[in-house]
A and B are shown apart, each in its own frame.
Chain A
Amino acid sequence: MGSMGVPTEYYQLVAALLFTIGLIGVLVRRSALIIFMSIELMLNAVNLSFVAFSRQHGQMDGQIFVFFVMAVAAAEVAVGLAILVAIFRNRETASVDEVHLLKG
């Protein structure tokens, strides 16, 4: 079936698009919660890219990377959300522009 499949470049384009949307989310949203979700989106964009390359090169190492990325993402979400809960409990807000005590 060889050349029948969708070329890898298309997948990369989708990944790039998703990554950019995630980046916009991180940069412009106020809610820390949504920023976390955007980060997840960016990670998923990269995962897509990994899997696409994995197929392109016929090696499963890319899929293993995805596996690790997921593990790291899970850890990050757990710790990140815990921090968020702690902040919210102390400051009654989840907006990143209202949490800026640590400054020069």
Chain B
Amino acid sequence: MGLTLLWLVPLLPLVGAILNGVLAGTLPRKMVSAIGVGSVGLSLAIAVACFGDLLALPPESRRVTQGLFTWIQSGDFHAEVRYALDPLGAVMMLVVTGVGFLIHVYSTGYMGHEKAYGRYFSYLNLFTFSMLTLVLADNFLLMFLGWEAVGLCSYLLIGFWYQRPAAAEAGKKAFVVNRIGDWGFLLGIFLIFVTFGSVDFATVFTQAPQRLAVGSAVATAIALLLFLGATGKSAQLPLYVWLPDAMEGPTPVSALIHAATMVTAGVYMVARCHIFYLLSPPALQVVAIVGILTALFAATIGLVQNDIKRVLAYSTISQLGYMFVGCGVGAFASGIFHLMTHAFFKALLFLGAGSVIHALSGEQDLWKMGGLKAHLPWTHATFLIATLAIAGVFPFAGFFSKDEILYQAWLRGGPLLWMAGVIGAFMTAFYMFRLYFLTFHGRSRVPQEAKHHLHESPNSMTGPLMILAVLSVIGGFVQVPILAGGQRLDQFLEPVFADAVDLAPAAHAASAAGAEVGLMVISLVVALMGIFVAYKFYVADPELPRRLAEQMRGAYRLVFNKYWVDEIYESFVVQPIYQGSVRLWERFDAAVIDGAVNGVGRQIERGAELLRLAQTGYVQVYALILTLGAVVLIGYLALR
């Protein structure tokens, strides 16, 4: 039953979006909530049913497609609107609908006082539809449609409070930066079509190993172009700059789009197109290197940021880097595993942060928080769980997924990559607990007037927090390492990545249970060290950070100012383009093009003034001219 309704999974949120969008402002709030939450809830129910049906199938036939209609048919080019469900898509679909549903519920509380309530839910539903289209698409073009649509929704939701110039600017920035990545993605699709004559996943992926040799230039070009798209959408170096600014949007949006789902689209896409990366070892290496550099780079910035959401944003960038490391060493299932657990605990972190911000009437500065543990018990408890999860403490979800990536990095990427990953893990533990301690512990730095309003959030907000907390605790157990038969997610995803086995990079080190346990212990120790250092800095001796910052003034300023990347982009990319555009406008558009257009118009006017004289108003002059024409024509025909 479930699988035949697959098409309803993306469609229901679209219906919700249209209803809420068209009827925005006329429906009562309760109705808007019912439509917005209900459509995604129903979609989730069908998604679970589909998942159950998929599990019932034998593993090798777990790929179901459902064509809706032919979208484009032109010559050799053919694109269908067709949804496909396979294990990879199923994982993504469950994450999107599941986390999406919780965040919709949360939004009814968080955005309760918002005027444009209908518009908000319309956008949110539209996003859910787009994201589901992206992950369930059966060809590159439909995937690109979803890809662009989630970008549009991201733009709309970042700029949701468009009255604020910062929000409008941030939305614009996200849109423009993403466009660079999309350009690469689109070129990649073109190249795929030119090479294979099709954009269907099944056709392209089965033909790729036969048509393209390992290491061939075409495979590398396709892989790198697609990865450029992924760096834009998933906020990797060098296109990560839009994500921190995207925090201008409402917090549930940050949780859904800029932490749990949309930004992971790049990881999903790389995993989906893994065959191209496996055919091109250099591209695979690029993925791993960009991933690890981003992970470290963003983590260092996260160490010193003071805005609660920006810390989380940099943490997201860093975690996405880990996912790409997993993909980059050929362990795509590990990347997807981390994607899933990250969706749980990062959504929880953002929603918890939202709860804090809600309680403080919009305050986001860490230095104006502190001691909130007593006031927000549920938020505190769930936030602590999420922080432990992202720090990688046993037995929370992040421990399993991050360690699997680190283990795979050790196994196939070498000790250096592993080492860098461990350093990143240390920083993650540190900055996350810095955030936690500054928010919930220590002396309260909340201003007096805000203190009066301090309150725990309503059930509609704490409910999703608790569910996500449970998921953050148990989410890791779908993939228990070492234990025989414990790798359920691996087994589930195995049909998708089966073709990867013989192409995957050779392991640098022998896979051994002993080594794995050893590495796990090391990373656990590192995480605990990070937590301890954070405790030392921000609880035991609050003056220590300042002294350290004084001592390492240069390094501190470098990191605090985010390596001046925004400023560098501004002066080396944005300003030249802007100035050049102004020149082009003044010198070329205004002078040459407008001149040509106006000149042609003026000449025609002048010619028309001359020609006007021919219209005398005397009928017989017209008759004469008519006769002249006839005479000439007849003469030509007679004497020919």
A100 contacts B618, C-beta separation under 8 Å: yes
Complex Cα spacing A97 to B618, Å: 6
Shortest Cβ gap from B604 to chain A (Å): 15
B616 contacts A97, C-beta separation under 8 Å: no
B620 contacts A96, C-beta separation under 8 Å: yes
User: Which of A23, A26, A28, A96 lies in contact with B618, CB distance below 8 A?
Assistant: A96
B614 contacts A104, C-beta separation under 8 Å: yes
B616 contacts A100, C-beta separation under 8 Å: yes
Residue with the highest number of chain A CB atoms closer than 10 Å, among B611, B612, B618, B624: B618
Shortest Cβ gap from A20 to chain B (Å): 11
Complex Cα spacing A9 to B134, Å: 81
User: Which of A96, A99, A104 lies in contact with B615, CB distance below 8 A?
Assistant: A104
User: Which residues of A have CB within 8 Å of B617?
Assistant: 100-103
B618 contacts A104, C-beta separation under 8 Å: no
Complex Cα spacing A19 to B130, Å: 75
Shortest Cβ gap from A12 to chain B (Å): 13
Complex Cα spacing A68 to B492, Å: 83
Per-residue interface assignment for chain B, residues 189 to 215, with 1 indicating a CB less than 8 Å from any chain A CB and 0 otherwise: 000000000000000000000000000
Which residues, 62 to 110 on B, are CB-close (under 8 Å) to A?
Answer: none
Q: Does B361 contact A (CB under 8 A)?
A: no
Which residues, 63 to 104 on A, are CB-close (under 8 Å) to B?
Answer: 96-97, 99-104
User: Which of B611, B615, B623 lies in contact with A103, CB distance below 8 A?
Assistant: B615
Shortest Cβ gap from A80 to chain B (Å): 12
User: Which residues of B have CB within 8 Å of A28?
Assistant: 620
Complex Cα spacing A99 to B614, Å: 16
Q: Does B613 contact A (CB under 8 A)?
A: yes
Shortest Cβ gap from B629 to chain A (Å): 13
Q: Does A1 contact B (CB under 8 A)?
A: no
B612 contacts A104, C-beta separation under 8 Å: yes
Shortest Cβ gap from B614 to chain A (Å): 7
Complex Cα spacing A103 to B612, Å: 8
Interface residues, chain B, with chain A CB atoms under 8 Å away: 611-620, 623-624, 627
Interface residues, chain A, with chain B CB atoms under 8 Å away: 23, 26-28, 96-97, 99-104
Q: List 18 A-B contacts (CB under 8 A).
A: A27-B620, A27-B624, A28-B620, A96-B620, A97-B618, A97-B620, A99-B619, A100-B616, A100-B619, A102-B615, A103-B615, A103-B616, A103-B617, A104-B611, A104-B612, A104-B613, A104-B615, A104-B616
Top 9 closest pairs, chain A to chain B, by CB: A103-B617, A104-B612, A100-B617, A104-B615, A96-B619, A100-B618, A102-B617, A103-B615, A103-B616
